[in-house]
Amino acid sequence: MLMLREFRETSDLKVAQVAERVGVPYETYRKWEKGDSNPNWEQLCKVADVLHCSLDDLTGRRETLTRDERAMLAKWRSLSDQGRTTVLAVMDSFQEGDSASSEERSA
């Protein structure tokens, strides 16, 4: 079963928004989410682009991320190169702080 609804909700999009961006009627996309019908290959690729995920993600062929992880990944993919560099620097500073705290506890 496709994970359309999960990825759409993580992307904070409404059914109508995804349907419009993919170029299909609202009812068509709604049926895909409910599992009443399935998109063709081209449509599925468009959905993955709109929802900022891979086809493996949509089809459940890969390890499933938590809702929070999917939200973070969607935000990451929307960042500029400068934004990504900033986020990585902040994460590195947190990791360094965590490492120092672990060493202090071990001593």
Instruction: Enumerate the domain spans of the chain.
Output: 4-64
Please tell me the CATH superfamily of domain 4-64, with its number: lambda repressor-like DNA-binding domains (1.10.260.40)
Residue 80 scores a pLDDT above 80: yes
- Evaluated on CA atoms 41, 34, 11, 56, the torsion sign reads negative
pLDDT of residue 49: 95
pLDDT tens for 40-74 read: 999 999 999 999 888 988 888 877 677 788 888 88
105 confidence band (pLDDT: 50, 70, 90): low
pLDDT tens for 6-39 read: 899 988 899 999 999 999 999 999 999 999 999 9
